[in-house]
Structure 1
């Protein structure tokens, strides 16, 4: 066996190496290796790689966009400015122009789209006009097929209508005025906007709103960009004050920044709260800076090892993992408490190596059982939970190694002789547990009380519980959706086909059905390339119909309008292809709908807005092998439910595994007394969480895994004291029992401070997790003495009592 000095030196080299690695990890890149993207917590699509790429494509295209709306009263047409360039312009236009310029100078955005340039306005015409003879709306197709003469009558009415705006040039290039109707349909599909002073504007509740969009120059989850949001907010306030306008915004970056700030706040609350609690407890109990320094040392080593290994394995540490991982502070200190409490209890007779030997079996078994609980979370398919599992397991192991390797060296000097704090209450509490009636009645009452809550338990596996949505941001997003008709929903239809033209035909059939569903209220709307690009065969059919129109009705139109140049046909057919469409500047905001070649097939997506009956769309998709309804939130929520069942199975397996380990060590009957307290504690935690009105989810079951692993520690130390007692009376030594109770009390207090503080989280999933652990650990602490053996003193044997121990300590102090 290695000596204390060799073990200490080896552990020192290990910690120094980890510190060097951490320094490299923090300085290797410009940004900290911390992940804030909530999507990084989610599993990849397990069935269809095309679906996963579709999700990633949509997420990337949408997450970097920011939408601004600037609103002013519709009656505020003029602004009082003396500048000749500004005089006469509406206040809304001036505000929108200034805001666009300010956004361009802010440094956050790679592109800001405010006023639509002349070239951009002409892009649609330049794309479609050469193909005008093969582009028809659905209404035009029916009219020209069934009643072509009606088109002549419509042209005559438009020409003689002074408000129609028909020019001689337009009439010469498009005598049947088919192209203007096609462009009008495109405008209606673009949303509720009209072009005014170069800006896309719309009216809502007596106000006119101008639309400005921007593209971030980095990820929405970039800390650098999020730090610039206060400057953006200041710009908005200045604009609102100067022009008396309303400024609305929405985008993933605002939610990401809120999540980052919330996570930092929660980490501070949990981590610092636990740390302050530990410091107060250590100073109050041990009244010496050495135990405090040793406890903080084990915490620091645990966090150092956990952080380094997590970054090495995952590349980054997710903030979600850190929120939970901060709770490691309250767990990694447990082993230190047992060692330091033994040292305090021993007084001048302290032997550092013997002290470690005395608790070594108990803390080792405690580590093993805790690791069973932590590492069980590795089965979950969520990277965030896997990180938490490894973060906690590695940190706990490092804290254990610090106690074993360094404490016998650093805590070699005995503490000053002093009675254990709260000795009288602890003695009374331990005495109560010597009564058989208490040992039966108290657990029974808790089981019956827990049964009430368990009976009313309900589960909610909605993934949206992972992220708290601030009310103000959500209200702005809903308002923008109502005004613009544009939604940020990621509910999509994935359409696939063997080639491009078949894909376009598929998209057209899907759009026709979605139009029916829209009229039935199944959804509010959708966006598809089929609304802008027709299949080649449809274009050819339209071309044939239009050619017939010219040939059959051209003379009639020329006569009724008395045209100097008769209508004649001279067009040639050339289809508008996806390559030409996607290369045009007009398609810039639509390109994300076309996925192109993926895994040997052509793919495109249809964005769905305001889906109220997802079941109808799912049924529609199941009828076509080339169609898939995708909703990432629903998919992961289903996985939550599936893995909730699997974690339940894991919990049962972990309980049996721990029970088998305990039976091997203590025997079957004793192992039941050890396993019963954490099992009852878990039931109580679930019951109280249910009674508070919080729905249960996967995280509550993960909380049970932790309660099992941590709660077993409490019963283990009592059982190990009894098991290692050499007294023939099988009576637990009073000093040892009180020392053990003090140590697990301190451990429970710090665990409640760490895990229990999660109940303060604004995120419902974390909040409910915290409540479950808070109640579970409290009950596990209360029931821990159940694993003690009942005293059966021998005749002529006078076991040491609390008063005897106190008297001996007082004599030592007097000496």
Structure 2
């Protein structure tokens, strides 16, 4: 037997070394995005492609707003900041200077008859020619409009009206080659930093963030305000927080375990015996997870740090029993309990792998492989290194074991008080039903927000200065061709204009406001011809145009005025607001995004959804609402899996413990229900991550009940159970202090759940064990 154990230990040691070396050769990226934890919700391929494109446009840019009390100070600060950001060459590109405004705007002048402003076009459609007539006379007498003011080439100042009506994506103007923000009281300028890599890339964060922080501190001393907006800031903050919590949770758990083991066993050798399987389990878990997934999330590692508290359970039981028996005898005595504990825990953790959440799947793989590796290490390594424990301590119980056993024996047994037992079960059933019918589910993705309020406020400040809406909803308009897409968008805009007229929608931004369809441009030219026919004579007479000048003016509109082609429009600065809009997508369709402004009421959302539902060329998309709906859908699936897991494990354990199965099952079930009730009371509801945590509570609680039943109330088993509970509380209970929402929602369940199971377990025990 000893030879077989030695051979198995050798094979297992070789396997661990090989898989760790193999994993070390693979460069696995570390992910810090909270959204990477979430499942991909179902949507049309075109919608998904557009959404990814829109996210990428924002994700890889950092917007820098520089504000000062006077214009010169702001421009000087821009120069200094630009030189410092130059150090990021190769990591990010900086945009400060732009081409001359006049060159870009004058390029639209030949198309002044085709690109009418919406107010003018609507008046001409109603044959209201007097309003443009009076407006032109007013501008001629007091020219305040933008652009050219030639009464012969453009007598009704249509170009001036068109420029004023152009909807810009950001509220900026070009001032002496810099981007000047017009929506801010103090002189403010805009810089744009474009990252070469994903903002969640840790090396990129490490290179860019120190420079940005240094700039802000330096400029603050000079009285210049620097504000940032971009996904990089939120990703870096989340990564910093996750790294801190990995070190505090993991280090806190390990230190707690070390102190407890030394105080109880008073031997360094015992500490090494207990921690060896834990360390092997963690190494194998990291290696397998790195090989299995292309990217490993930091939260997986942070959560995996809590694996220490579970894996140490097996070591504790083995080492405690080794004080009474030799290694091979301990294996024979504990094998059934260890196997049942492993199977039940892996089933509980394995349930996470069935969810569509990439982050939870990683945690499932990490936890399951880590537990299996720790279990094998206990069976193969510990029999060889715990032989001296028995020789030195066979006749004496550890003081801690005796003390804890005396405390346990003072607990009354529930089966001695059938009425109390019945009331307890009724109370648990009532609590379960109350939670089922009245507890409020919390499925909003905003619960996962990790950024501090100060960072969110700064981001919002910059976005408001840019004139961008913080709305997560938008509309996608598609067509079989670029022209068809523009026509579809113009048609749907009529419904949006009606909402604006009613005061229920603040506004929107659409590409067809910048470049109308060719059909609309030709209609505009016809409208202008009618205006000239109706009012040019009167206008020429009022301002004193000669017959020759009037004929020249009329010829400009009658001799086939040009329309603006997509190719020409794409060369203009204004097209930068709509990147890729006229590039066909993988589906062969063309699609544009209509950005909605302002807060959307429930009534407006319903109207937009109804309008989009009746038009197969239009899709209403709300990213936050869609993700929240996905969370709700999978919360229900996880709840179903919990009930199935409880049922399956109860049936499996029934074949082992028969009518005593309730002694194993009741503590974890009761602890889970009461923990969930506490969470609902504290947070006002529950979410999917609370339910996933219940799987962990159930798995650890099962281990406790199984070992207590298998050992027939052994003092050393109760010591091992108590130590395992305490180390698990240190590992998982610390998560309740986490500032990362996902980890907090795990910890707030695990902390009271495990404590309750430990307190309830002695009540369920009996001196008689009926097994077959």
- Which TM-score applies when normalising by structure 1? 0.86
- Please report how far the alpha carbon of residue 3 of structure 1 lies from its aligned counterpart in structure 2 after TM superposition: 0.6
Matching residue within 548, 563, 568 for 2:554: 568
- 1:184: which partner in 2? 164
The DSSP-based 3-state class of the residue aligned with 2:187 is: strand
**Quick one: which of 592, 610, 617 aligns to 1:619?**
610
Task: Confirm or deny that 1:158 pairs with 2:175.
Answer: no
Residue in structure 2 matched with residue 307 of structure 1 by the alignment: 286
Q: What stretches of structure 1 of length at least 5 have no aligned partner? A: 78-89, 723-731, 793-815
TM superposition shift of 1:208:
3.3
The residue aligned with 2:569 is: 581
Cα offset, 1:496, TM superposition: 1.9
How big is the shift at 1:33? 2.2
Deviations along 1:449-497, one digit per CA (max 9) or x if unpaired, are 8956955632211112223221111111222344332135442212222
**Residue 594 of structure 1 contacts residue 605 of structure 1 at CA under 8 Å; is this kept in 2?**
no
Structure 2 CA distance for aligned equivalents of residues 497 and 744 of structure 1:
65
Partner of 2:735: 758
Shift in Å, 1:267: 1.2
What CA distance in whole angstroms lies between the structure 1 residues aligned with 2:718 and 2:304? 26
User: Quick one: distance in 2 between partners of 1:139 and 1:435?
Assistant: 81
String of CA shifts for 1:379-398, please: whole Å, max 9, x gaps. Answer: 22110111111111111111
2:528 to 546, 549, 561: 546
Match for residue 515 of structure 1?
497
Conserved? CA contact 2:65–2:191, under 8 Å:
yes
Q: Could you say if the C-alpha distance between residues 300 and 605 of structure 1 is closer, same or farther in structure 2, counting changes exceeding 3 Å?
A: same
Is 2:282 aligned against 1:282?
A: no
Aligned equivalents of 2:447, 2:563: Cα separation in 1: 49
Task: Give the SS at the match of 1:647.
Answer: helix
Which residue pairs with 1:727 in the alignment? none
Deviates more, 1:9-18 or 1:594-603: 594-603
Does 2:21 match 1:20? Answer: yes
Q: 2:365 aligns with which of 367, 390, 408?
A: 390
Question: How much has 1:679 moved relative to structure 2?
Answer: 0.4
Matched, 1:714 2:710: no
Of the three residues 236, 242, 245, the one matched with 2:216 is 236
CA deviation digits over 1:52-94, x for unaligned, max 9? 2122111111111222222234xx46xxxxxxxxxxxx32232
2:270 alignment counterpart: 291
Alignment of 1:730-745 (within 5 A): 737-745=714-722
Secondary structure of 2:388 counterpart: coil
Once the 2 structures are TM-superposed, how far is the Cα of residue 552 of structure 1 from its aligned partner?
Answer: 5.0
Structure 1 residue 359 displacement after superposition: 0.7
**2:639 aligned to 643, 648, 664, which one?**
648
1:431, distance to aligned residue in structure 2 (A): 4.4
After superposition, the C-alpha distances for 1:246-285 in whole angstroms (9 at most, x for unaligned) are 2221111110011001111111121111111111111112
- How far apart, CA to CA, are the structure 1 residues paired with 2:459 and 2:429? 42
The reply to whether residue 688 of structure 1 matches residue 709 of structure 2 is no
Is 1:362 aligned to 2:363, yes or no? Answer: no
Partner of 1:798: none
Distance 2:56 2:212 in 1: 22
Match of 1:795? none
2:300 paired with 1:321: yes
- Cα displacement (A) at 1:518: 4.0
Question: Using the alignment, how far apart are the partners of 2:651 and 2:560 within structure 1?
Answer: 83
Aligned match of 2:375 in 400, 404, 407? Answer: 400
SS of 1:620 mapped into structure 2? helix
> Which residue matches 1:428?
407
Q: Cα 1:427–1:226, aligned 2, differ >3 Å: closer, same or farther?
A: same
d(CA) in 2 for partners of 1:152 and 1:290?
A: 98
Q: Is the contact between residue 184 and residue 465 of structure 2 (CA under 8 Å) also seen in structure 1?
A: no
Q: Does 1:666 align with 2:670?
A: no
Deviation at 1:791, TM superposition (A): 5.3
CA contact 2:581–2:591 (8 Å) conserved in 1: no
Structure 2 CA distance for aligned equivalents of residues 694 and 592 of structure 1 = 45
CA distance in 2, matches of 1:9, 1:556: 104
In the other structure, the counterpart of 2:620 is: 629
Q: Contact (CA 8 Å) 1:493, 1:628: kept in 2 or not? A: yes
**TM-aligned CA deviation for residue 155 of structure 1:** 2.7
Deviation at 1:200, TM superposition (A): 3.8
Q: In structure 2, how many angstroms separate the alpha carbons of the residues matched to 1:322 and 1:121? A: 55
SS at match of 1:111: strand
Any conservation in 2 of the 1:461–1:638 contact (CA below 8 Å)? yes
SS class of match (2:98): coil
* Matched residue, 1:133: 113
Does the 8 Å CA contact 2:114/2:524 hold for their aligned counterparts?
Answer: yes
1:521-536 aligned within 5 A: 522-536=504-518
Q: Does 1:59 align with 2:55?
A: yes
TM-fit CA distance, 1:659: 0.7
Mark the CA change 1:36 to 1:603 in structure 2 (over 3 Å): closer, same or farther.
same
Q: Is the 8 A contact 1:511 1:530 kept in 2?
A: no
8 Å Cα contact 1:108/1:216 also seen in 2: no
Cα displacement (A) at 1:144: 3.2
What is the SS of the residue equivalent to 2:675? helix
- Give, in whole Å, the separation in 2 of the partners of 1:322 and 1:353: 34
Query: SS of the counterpart of 1:43?
Result: coil
Q: Is the 8 A contact 2:5 2:380 kept in 1?
A: yes
Q: After the TM superposition, which of the residue ranges 158-167 and 503-512 deviates more from structure 2? A: 158-167
Change beyond 3 A, Cα 1:597–1:211: same
Partner residue of 1:606?
594
**2:747 maps to 1:770:** yes
Q: Contact 1:463/1:637 (CA < 8 Å) preserved in 2?
A: yes
CA distance in 1, matches of 2:520, 2:148: 29
Deviation at 1:675, TM superposition (A): 0.8
Structure 1 match to 2:352: 377
- How far off is 1:330 after superposition? 0.8
Tell me which residue corresponds to 2:44. 48
In the alignment, structure 2 segments of 5+ residues that lack a partner are none
Which residue of 2 is the match for residue 35 of structure 1? 31
Supply the distance in 2 between the matched residues of 1:162 and 1:689 (Cα, whole angstroms).
67
Distance in 1 of aligned mates of 2:750 and 2:106: 64
SS of residue paired to 1:576: coil
Q: Which residue of 2 aligns with 1:474?
A: 456
- Is 1:590 the equivalent of 2:601? no
Distance in 2 between the 1:397 and 1:513 partners? 60
Q: CA deviation at 1:37?
A: 2.2
Give the distance between the partners of 1:594 and 1:635, measured in 2 at CA. 27
Provide the aligned length of Structure 1 versus Structure 2.
751
* SS of equivalent residue, structure 1 residue 790: coil
